[in-house]
Amino acid sequence: MSRRQTPPFDPGRFEIANRLFFRLYQCSNLLHKNGTRSIGEFGATTQQWAVLGALARPLVHEKGMSVKELIEFLMLSRQNLTAVLDRLEARDWVERVKDPEDGRSRLIRLTVEGNRTWSAMRPAIETFYGKALMPLGEDEQVRLYQLLDRLRDGLADV
């Protein structure tokens, strides 16, 4: 229970919120820096890995995803995603194919090469996950992503 309408902000509440978002900022910087370094041998970035990961999911892998779906899933702007897709397409890791059911829409799919690269990256990603999550038990990892889920919902509604 107890979801307040407009929470009053005493100094304590502000401090907690401040720490929370500052940690988020720090984690975000570290994820980008060290995550990208850990897959440096492939010349990819964490953002590209997020796109490949989205497209490699079992239910998506064959039909692909539209740009609109990718934007909503990754929560970034269309202009930005277009640029990332351009780089991925230039490396022949993804392809844009016309949607047979909607001529306006194009489906983004992993190429064979993109699939191969994603598989090759997985061990490096697993190593990164393992090291980065060292201080957290499995139950805490679940708790953390559930809390991040709700934070995301809150952030999206601002």
Contact residues for its own copies (CB under 8 A)? 2-3, 6-7, 9, 13-14, 16-31, 34-35, 37-38, 46-47, 50, 53, 74-76, 126, 128-138, 140-145, 147-158
> Among DNA, its own copies, none, what does residue 11 contact (CB within 5–8 Å per kind)?
none
CB-facing half-sphere around the CA of 50: CA atoms within 13 A: 15
Question: By CB neighbour count within 10 A (0-12 exposed, 13-18 middle, 19+ buried), where does 51 fall?
Answer: buried
Distance CA 52, CA 117 (A): 9
> Among its own copies, DNA, none, what does residue 141 contact (CB within 5–8 Å per kind)?
its own copies
Give the Cα-Cα-Cα angle 131, 125, 153 (nearest 5 degrees).
85
- In the complex, what is the shortest distance from the CB of residue 56 to DNA, in angstroms, rounded to a whole number? 16
Q: Which residues bind DNA (CB under 7 A)?
A: 25, 29, 32-33, 37, 45, 47-48, 66-68, 71, 75-80, 82-87, 96, 102-106
In contact, 110 and 124? CB cutoff 8 Å = no
Of 101 and 153, which has the nearer Cβ to its own copies?
153
- In the complex, what is the shortest distance from the CB of residue 16 to DNA, in angstroms, rounded to a whole number? 22
**Dihedral sign, Cα of residue 27, residue 28, residue 33, residue 35:** positive
- In the complex, what is the shortest distance from the CB of residue 58 to its own copies, in angstroms, rounded to a whole number? 11
Distance CA 50, CA 17 (A): 27
- In the complex, what is the shortest distance from the CB of residue 1 to DNA, in angstroms, rounded to a whole number? 33
Distance CA 122, CA 148 (A): 23
Of 142 and 148, which has the nearer Cβ to DNA?
148
- In the complex, what is the shortest distance from the CB of residue 5 to its own copies, in angstroms, rounded to a whole number? 9
